[in-house]
Structure 1
Amino acid sequence: MDAVSGLLDWFQASGGFLDKSHVGFTVFPDCGRGAVALQDIPEGHILFKIPRDLLLSTETSALPGHVGLARWREEKMHVGWVGLILCMMWETAQGPRSKWSKYLESLPATFDTPMFWSALELEELKGTSVVEKLGKADAEREFREKLLPMVQSHPDLFPPDTIPVHYTLEIYHVMGSRILSRSFDVEKDDPEDETEGEEAGNTSLGSAMDVDAPQEDAESIHSGASEHAGQDEDAEEEAEEEESSGVSMVPLADMLNARYGSENAKLYYEKDDLRMVSTKSIKAGEQIWNTYGDLPNAELLRRYGHVDMLALPNGDLGNPGDVVEIPADLAVAALHMADSPITRERIDWWLEQGGDDVVVLESDLEVPLALVALIRLLRLTTDEWEKAVAKDKVPKPKLDDTVLTVVRAVLEHRLKEYPSSLDDDVVLLRDESLPLNKRQAVIVRVGEKRILTSAIQKIAAQQSDAQSSRKRKMQPQEGAETGRTSKTRRR
């Protein structure tokens, strides 16, 4: 905790306020370093205040100004995270000369996130959406094509002998992971905007905890930090449009842990500072929790390197927020449709209409309406298809027996994408010697498989009930005299 002591001394010497009588920092056995209530804390209590000039961002670092703001924007260093990553690298290279040296020293240098797993370890995540979301190749492309050329073209700012020390691909990934797991989306201080108390949210680019608006008139703007990866043209345009907000590293606020449904504090921004405020009463000795937005274990593992294991309604342990992502092309496969121009035309139109290429099955096991609408779209006759296009409307998500059969086939296809069965994984989790990364991967798989298995069972029961109902309707009512039965009775 020496780094923490240095951080707290720097924080208070730099104008930050910490209520040391109520808030302390310690290491929790199950979730590492975090904040603890030293005495009972009432709801609405200010735990600490962070002056805006202590935030580390491309707005507060001197690096963009040294490079030249025109050049900075010309090289698109303001788009995505590459600019902030470079600022953090440069500030680290300054050592004690950097305003944030004590803060940077306190940040983790290693991570348990899949970004740093071996190929063999990543195999354990097969079937989940985690690996394809890592964006490692895109991130490394941005390092080669944007960050490194900027560094090499400014030897005055980045002396050549410092490049192998402070500007390596490995450090780039570490800085990106710090942003992914700890950054916030903080609205800029606009002198003409008198709205205060906004919730400062974790950036949609891929962050961790929430920041809210001032306690009065607060509006939630949290999302979760953005992906440590490259962005396509549309994403770049979107990022440029979002320049009213800035991805920022927020000292002290990023030390709070989070757990599903446990939030008892939230970060709010005011004109001159950000404030961590208790959202409910907290007993002495309890952990002070922020929120990551109650994410599923797949996202918690990808972004932060941990999973939640809580009691579920059915008695199992897992994450109540778990979901299963289902690619739209599984609907095409379940319908045995060929990859033809006609199929691609319908999928493209679906996307143009605002449909997603991935639908989400949640733990409530309700069939996603988007999946129903997509299946109905793919099943349209040529005439029906042409009418839908003319009306510019996708089919209504009406769930009939035929569509339900296709939905079941989609879910069965999805379940087969995992290399092991649910029963096998449940048995595997009983092995206490399981390595951490493998254990967490199995926990992610188990949570998703339980949802899929339960949803399939629910659909099978619905189909069985419907079939039984149809049989009952087809059977003649007792006492009815029809056909041969009535003749026999007359005899």
Structure 2
Amino acid sequence: MAAPAKRSRVVAPAGSGEHDPASDPDPDPDPDPDPDPDPVAGFLRWCGQVGLELSPKVAVSRQGTVAGYGMVARESLQPGELLFAVPRAALLSPRTCSIRGLLEREQGALQSQSGWVPLLLALLHELQAPASLWSPYLALWPKLGQLEHPMFWPEEERKRLLQGTGVPEAVEKDLSNIQSEYCSIVLPFMEAHPDLFSHRVRSLELYRQLVALVMAYSFQEPLEEDEDEKEPNSPLMVPAADILNHVANHNANLEYSPDCLRMVATQPIPKGHEIFNTYGQMANWQLIHMYGFVEPYPDNTDDTADIQMVTVREAALQGIKVEAERLLLHERWDFLCKLEMVGEEGAFVIGRKEVLTDEELITTLKVLCMSAEEFTEFKDHSGWEDKWEEDSLMITNIPRLKASWKQLLRDSVLLTLQTYATDLKTEQDLLSSEVYVKLSWREQQALQVRYGQKMILHQLLELTN
């Protein structure tokens, strides 16, 4: 994920195991039987205790925010002004939690594909620890059990509302990976340390909810430029920073330094306006999958639509009746796989202004549309002379592509549109009618995801006509 991004989708080891979530303990451990009647006041007192410096020009509030708690400007702010600074000691991570020594000693046993297990164990412990340093911070979290990620939607509703968007498939992978990670690593670890993890937190359902919360509220510190080959940094919880909501046109950004993390204004913020961070360049399908919300069309300028790579192969195979030609096309596809331009599970990502996977798409269209002689020469020389001359493929340049490339792209778009349950006109009619306000919140969010993707795909249809 890009450096400023808040979150990263959990990718736990593949696998599954039979487990009945209904048999789990209460997923809300209710660690504080006597919660502060004013959690914001308690959080602000805690900030003073741990040295978290909040500018007097900002306020934590539920009033004037787009969702839940947020941060609002008490006074006008200018670019570069410090909104708050979080000392590293106030971060909640495996290195700062009260069981950090144990997590460090056992790090070998806690390895997973996601890399999230140590943080999740730290959160499970702090949630039920009677004297957790972070209790006032945890009190501002959304109530577990009320998160709106699609992983908590009924399967039928998820598939019905989000068919074709890529979200149901991503959720199914997550649920399988989460269960595998919990059953093979997390639960055995908690059972081996019953003095540190009460029965209240030994719950697959609670673990799912914490995974969703980490997806939606954790941060990953970016790697240094000379560390690009390293694994991404583990996620961590950043008090105050995770209060800020997201929009594509954000007005604040998190900066990292050796001593603290600083949230700084990036554009003028008038008095009374909400302060927004960025979770990265997130399409609506990513926002709903990882955070449980979307930006209504056309606000999300980072929205994208995917064309599955195998769909382009399917489009190229349409109409081929001669077995020799079919074999030749498969040979070309295999060669593209060796070049790492395509893959069975990959996708070409189309933004509203440019193709984000332009090299992969251009190379694929060219190779699949080559004559047999051109392909032979291409294989022998591992390249060609007339490469695409632009730095990136802007959407407005699509009409400049060769006719055969445009036709293949158009056929691929048409096949992609068939994966949705409804067409663009149906979505437009819903959005423009009084019916929209009567839809459930989930129906509205899913409609925005589908509509944004279809608008991008229909734009491609017009440009390849």
TM range (shorter): 0.7 to 0.9
The answer to whether 1:253 aligns with 2:241 is: yes
Amino acid at match of 1:438: E
Query: What amino acid maps onto 2:415 in structure 1?
Result: H
Structure 2 partner of 1:452: 457
Q: How does 1:306-455 map to 2 (within 5 A)?
A: 306-309=293-296, 317-336=298-317, 346-356=332-342, 357-364=346-353, 368=358, 370-380=360-370, 384-393=374-383, 396=387, 399-429=401-431, 430=433, 431=435, 432-455=437-460
Q: 1:274 is matched with which residue: 253, 261, 285?
A: 261
Is the 8 Å Cα contact of residues 22 and 41 (structure 1) preserved in structure 2?
Answer: no
Structure 1 residues 34 and 343, CA gap change in structure 2 (3 angstroms): same
Gaps of 5+ in 2: 1-36, 389-399
Percent of paired sites with the same residue: 29
Choose from 75, 85, 92 the match for 1:56.
92
Instruction: Give the distance between the partners of 1:344 and 1:101, measured in 2 at CA.
Output: 58
In 1, the alpha carbon distance for the partners of 2:99 and 2:334 equals 43
Q: Secondary structure at the match of 2:62?
A: strand
Which amino acid in structure 1 is aligned with residue 364 of structure 2?
L
CA gap of 1:21–1:387, structure 2 versus 1, over 3 A, is: closer
Q: Are the structure 2 counterparts of residues 149 and 273 from structure 1 closer, same or farther at C-alpha, using a change threshold of 3 Å?
A: same
The yes-or-no answer on 1:98 pairing with 2:132 is yes
Query: Which has the larger displacement, 360-369 or 7-16?
Result: 360-369
CA distance in 1, matches of 2:248, 2:443: 22
Q: 1:9-408 residue pairs with structure 2 within 5 A?
A: 9-28=45-64, 30-67=66-103, 69=105, 71-76=106-111, 80-95=115-130, 97-108=131-142, 109=144, 110-122=146-158, 123-134=160-171, 135-158=174-197, 162-163=198-199, 165-186=200-221, 241-242=230-231, 245-261=233-249, 263-309=250-296, 317-336=298-317, 346-356=332-342, 357-364=346-353, 368=358, 370-380=360-370, 384-393=374-383, 396=387, 399-408=401-410
Distance 1:342 1:99 in 2: 64
| C-alpha deviation, 1:22, in angstroms | 3.9
Do 1:318 and 1:443's aligned partners in 2 also have CA atoms closer than 8 Å?
no
**Within 1, Cα distance between the matches of 2:347 and 2:114?**
25
d(CA) in 2 for partners of 1:428, 1:177:
30
Q: CA deviation at 1:88?
A: 0.6
Q: Deviations over 1:422-465 (max 9, x none)?
A: 111122233121011111101111111111112202221xxxxx
Q: What letter corresponds to residue 462 of structure 2 in structure 1?
A: Q
2:34 paired residue number:
none
In terms of Rg, which structure is larger? 1
Unaligned regions of 5+ residues in structure 1, if any?
189-197, 199-218, 222-236, 311-316, 461-491
Higher normalized contact order (CA 8 Å, seq sep 6+, divided by chain length): 2
- Give the length in aligned residue pairs: 399
Separation in structure 1 between the aligned mates of residue 96 and residue 65 of structure 2, nearest angstrom: 35
Letter in 2 for 1:2: D
SS of alignment partner, residue 234 of structure 2:
strand
- State the TM-score, normalizing by the size of structure 1: 0.74
CA pair 78-302 structure 1, distance change in 2 beyond 3 A:
closer
Question: C-alpha deviations, 1:136-161, integer Å up to 9, x for none?
Answer: 21122111112112222233433xxx
